[in-house]
């Protein structure tokens, strides 16, 4: 069965003989992995250069019950993030976001609001002229809200510790190590209500950013069943 859908490229995994698997987040069927029979196929027009992380494509997918993997038959680029691929800071963020999404979005989970948020975030990251040092922090918090796992209460002088295991701000230091200190917790609480469109208003020092990122990744490991990521190490080198 062939169907056409807009999709966001998350990961391209090359195989021998110019074959590949591409992981896509589609508008109507969530996370989908597709087999590509040849990245040099003239008829399909599929090229690895058009499958960079966070590229938005119009895809024709062959999806059959008898096959383990769907097949990407044709594609056209809907939005190519040129300003991301040519900017080291934006590229590092894009690789991180793509890895994060491939770990937390569930297969066959249709969520058009989530798709729209991610699409708008990609275009924003590509087009912005503002420095992007804190973009990924604001993105993670917006994503946690989209996924319904944002902490339930807020920072206050009476609740200054974000307990990452419980997902709440508490009055006392948790007995375990999965928590954020008051300065980190206050920053997360303030940024939790900041829309991604206003990411440039976030003011976070380099040291605080690193600690918050580690905390938020731990939070996603706990509450979104996410496996540990690797791409955040590049972010720490860039910013």
Q: State yes or no: pLDDT of 80 exceeds 70.
A: yes
3-state SS of 99-111 is HHHHHHCCECCCC
Q: What integer pLDDT is reported at residue 28 of this predicted model? A: 86
108 pLDDT band, cuts 50/70/90, is low
Q: What integer pLDDT is reported at residue 41 of this predicted model? A: 55
Residue in 134, 119, 128 with CA at minimum distance from that of residue 209? 134
Which two tokens mark 66? 């008898």
Does the pTM exceed 0.75? Answer: yes
**pLDDT averaged over the chain?**
92
With residue 60 as reference, give the H or E element that holds it: strand 56-62
The answer to whether 32 touches 84, Cβ cutoff 8 Å, is no
23 three-state secondary structure:
strand
Distance from C-alpha of 186 to C-alpha of 99, rounded to nearest angstrom: 27
Q: State yes or no: pLDDT of 66 exceeds 60.
A: no
157 three-state secondary structure:
coil
Domains and CATH numbers, the chain: 2-80 (2.40.50.140), 83-238 (1.20.1440.120)
The answer to whether 226 touches 103, Cβ cutoff 8 Å, is yes
């Amino acid at each position: 069965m062939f169907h056409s859908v807009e999709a966001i490229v998350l990961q391209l995994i090359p195989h021998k003989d110019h074959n590949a698997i591409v992981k896509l987040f589609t508008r109507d069927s969530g996370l989908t992995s597709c087999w590509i029979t040849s990245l040099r196929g003239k008829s399909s027009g599929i090229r690895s250069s058009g499958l960079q992380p966070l590229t938005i494509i119009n895809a024709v997918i062959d999806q059959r019950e008898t096959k383990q993997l769907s097949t990407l038959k044709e594609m056209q680029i809907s939005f190519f993030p040129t300003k991301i691929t040519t900017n080291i800071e934006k590229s590092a963020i894009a690789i991180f976001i793509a890895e994060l999404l491939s770990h937390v979005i569930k297969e066959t989970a249709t969520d058009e609001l989530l798709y729209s948020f991610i699409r708008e975030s990609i275009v924003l990251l590509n087009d912005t002229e503002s420095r992007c040092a804190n973009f990924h922090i604001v993105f993670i918090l917006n994503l946690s809200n989209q996924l319904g796992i944002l902490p339930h209460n807020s920072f206050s002088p009476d609740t200054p510790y974000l307990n990452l295991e419980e997902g709440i701000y508490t009055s006392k230091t948790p007995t375990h190590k999965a928590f954020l200190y008051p300065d980190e917790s206050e920053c997360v609480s303030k940024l939790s209500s900041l829309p991604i469109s206003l990411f440039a208003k976030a003011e976070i020092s380099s040291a605080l950013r690193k600690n918050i990122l580690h905390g938020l990744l731990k939070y996603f490991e706990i509450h979104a069943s996410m496996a540990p990521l690797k791409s955040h190490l590049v972010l720490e080198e860039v910013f």
